[in-house]
Structure 1
Amino acid sequence: MLHFPFHVVLWAVVVALLVACALVMELVCGILPFLERPVEKAAVRALDPFPARPRWWMTWGELRHEEDPAFHRGRVEKLLRKQRSDRRTTDVAAHLYRCLGVRGLLEIAGPHGWTLDAQAAVRPHEKVRLSRLVPAATRS
């Protein structure tokens, strides 16, 4: 209960700063359009340290099914089934597999054609990046 108000205030400050910077950058990029892409990349890098959903946050449904592996297995399978066939990487957030662990996630992902991405850093408390090979027929 103590962390939630802090998190809300933190996001309110971040949004206010983002809006103020966006107004200034809109004017600057209107005059100098070649700066648009670097400004966008800088904004993404600046916002990365601030999580949209803290690790401790749980929805009511997640709280009710905290010790139910079948619930989390269904969520992971639903996420992996919804991925387009041409997509080569995907991130699975920790709150989706919290009861299964990384090993359980990989057991579910294997039949869907996903494996652990060897090039990405594994941060099991935040997210796990999965990758798969795209068949040559679907590449363009």
Structure 2
Amino acid sequence: MLGIEYPIFLGGMAHVSRAPLVSAVSAAGGLGIIGSGGMPPDVLAAEIEKVREMTDRPFGVNLMLMDPNIDAQVEVVLDAGVAMVTTGAGNPAKYIDRLKARGIKIFPVVPAVALAVRMARAGADGIVAEGMESGGHVGEVTTFVLVPQV
């Protein structure tokens, strides 16, 4: 589905998951994911180009839906045509159809079964189940408990 060798995604960590790390993970057979949280749209566009200069392997972008620049970031992702996006900190339903129309896979990061079900019904291509031991915006159960339920 994503053209990767190993089912390993780099977490889209804001201020950390940038071109050098993203391209290294993708080049090694996983899926590098740019952390766009707090990133101005022009910086995101430049970061996508840097990754493309460093590897020809698939990579994605994590979109933090509470970011004040989210609509502009989505436009950058649509224009760039990255392989996939992960989303967090909000409901991506209003963006799913536009992303899928451009062939971009969408994998919402979810901390609960109810949200996983809602995202599947909204048309998500996959789900990233994130337990309470993860960083970022997490729920109340561990990954070990959450994954079998999802």
TM-score by length of 1: 0.30
More helix per residue: 1
Larger radius of gyration: 1
Highest RCO, 1 vs 2 (Cα 8 Å, sep ≥ 6): 1
